[in-house]
Structures are given as C-alpha cells and as structure tokens.
Amino acid sequence: MAYWLIKSNPSCFSINDLQHLGTEMWDGVRNYRARNFMRDDMQVGDKAFFYHSSAKPSGVAGIVTISKAGYPDTTQFHPEHRHYDPKATEENPRWYMVDVSFDQTFSDILPLSELKFLPTLEDSLLLRKGCEQLTIIPLESKHWYAIIDIAKELNLIANEADSI
C-alpha cells in the first residue's frame, strides 16, 4: 500500500462533499507530475489524506482510499467542460484520474502550520519548496504515520485510526 496527500479547494469539492457521495472521481488534475502519479502509481487500496487547499486554514481534513486506479479523465474530451483539452483524444488521452472513497473526516482541520514543525516531514514533498502547487503528493509511511500521530495528539481523530 502507498500513501498520498491529495488537495482540493473546499469551495469546489470538500471532504464533506465526498462524505455525502461516498465515492467520487478525482478529475480535473492538469499537472503532468500529478497526472503521472495517478496514471502510473496510485493503486486500489492506497490511502490518502484529503487536504483542503486555498482555505483558511489550509490543511488535512480527512482520510480517503483510492478505490479505482488511474484511467483517462473524461472531462478532457468535452468541449463544454472547464477541463477540456483540445489536444487530448480518446486514442491518446493526456490526463488521468482515480476514484476516491471516503474513510473519515477529522474533527477539525490539521493545519499546514502544525505540519511544518514535524521533523519527520522535513524531507517530504509536502514541505519542499517548489512542490506547493502539486495537487497529488506521495508520502512515505513515516510521513503518513507522523501526520496520523499529530492528528491523534490534537484529538482530531480517534485511536481507531490505527487500522488506517
């Protein structure tokens, strides 16, 4: 199993939206590095932190599971869609997506300002300069468990999260 952090602006799609739907496509990603993660690396059963970006505060809002591995993002083919890409064809898609399923929401946002002080995360892409714009970030297991531990310490998740 691999670990990820996926970002979404909560005014567009939040952890609460996903909780209501249960499972949803993670579409509209238009960054080649993030696309490659979805296309080549994300697998069914992988876990991801759902991160609210462009929020006050920005931070981890909950946990999801990858429920369908990478497949062509259908929004790239529809001219009326805001994520349309005229260079993409069904024979040669440029963009990929995965499906994510809701696991749990945190009782409050675990803000990025808290994560910046975790020594374990110093080498993570989450805190690396130049990676702020990545909407999908791979995490090592040590990063995953450091975030889980601080969320427990701050009483944002229950101890049952050990099984996650």
Output the CATH code of domain 3-163. Answer: 3.10.590.10
State the DSSP code for 129. T
| Residue 149 vs residue 161, higher pLDDT | 149
The length of the chain is: 164
Q: What is the pLDDT of residues 16-39, one digit of tens each?
A: 999 999 999 999 999 999 999 999
Q: Among residues 53, 48, 58, which one has the least CA distance to residue 24?
A: 48
pLDDT computed for residue 131 by the predictor: 76
Rounded Cα gap, residues 67 and 99, in angstroms: 5
pLDDT computed for residue 37 by the predictor: 97
